[in-house]
Amino acid sequence: MSAALNLSHEPVTKIANGKIAMWAFLASELMFFSGFFGTFIVLRNTNYQAFFDASHHLNWMLALVNTFILIGSSLTMAMAIYKLERRENGAFQVYLGLTILGACGFLVVKYFEYSAKWHDGLFPSQENHSLFYSFYFLMTGFHALHVIGGMIPMLFMLFKSFTKKGYYHPVKVEVLGLYWHFVDLMWIFIFPALYLIFP
């Protein structure tokens, strides 16, 4: 199984091939998000009044809660890797479970945020707020999709860890951890850009 996924180590750098592949993937992800940020800043500077008005309908407190949830889940993910490397399967399951719980919590908060916007009629089709909320839903929506994308392999790993065979693949979990930390990193930029940049 490991050979099929080519998670062997590069002989000179001693870095797992899967890890290098994930970093390369994250580099492409970074370029994807840079398109959002670049156009957001350009259009913000040329439509300041509209962006300013629209942004004040956002609930930055909910976003702050989500920031803490993601930071916490980053810590539990790092802890899960640490415990698996030491073959502490029980602790690994607890920390991975907490990470999944954090991801669920993030999505629940996001659901409340989205439903409030929907209730208030704040979505891209409305005049004036159209441009800002296009960015809002595009950036946070893609970010939420990334959260869901991370949860799927996490659930798989957690499920496998409860089987008789167990799940001892620290490199695979570490590679998934890189992805999960990247999701946290993007939120670190999205949070001030959308919720705080308009004082």
Partner 1 sequence: MSHDHGNILPSYMKVFATLCTMTLVTVAAAKLVHFPDILFIPGYVVNIAVGLAIAVFKVVCVMYIFMHLKFDHPMLRFFVYIPVFLFFVMSFGFNLEFGGKESNDKVTRTVYQQKHPNAHHGSGHGAGH
Q: How far apart are CA 112 and CA 94, in angstroms?
A: 27
The reply to whether 27 sits near partner 1 by the rule CB under 8 A is yes
Minimum separation from the CB atom of position 62 to partner 1 (A): 13
Q: Per-residue contact track with partner 1, 153 to 172, x per CB under 8 A? A: -----------------xx-
b/e 47-79 (16+ beta carbons within 10 angstroms → b): eeebbeebbeebeeeebebbbebbebbbebbbb
Give alpha helix (H) positions in the chain: 2-5, 17-46, 48-55, 60-85, 89-119, 130-161, 170-190
φ and ψ of 9, to 5 deg: -100, 140
Q: Per-residue contact track with partner 1, 56 to 85, x per CB under 8 A? A: ----x---x--xx--xx-xx-xxx-xx--x
Residues near partner 1, by CB under 8 A: 13-16, 19-20, 23-24, 26-27, 30-31, 33-35, 37-38, 41-42, 44-46, 48-49, 52, 60, 64, 67-68, 71-72, 74-75, 77-79, 81-82, 85, 170-171, 174, 177-178, 181, 184-185, 188-189, 191-192, 196-197, 199
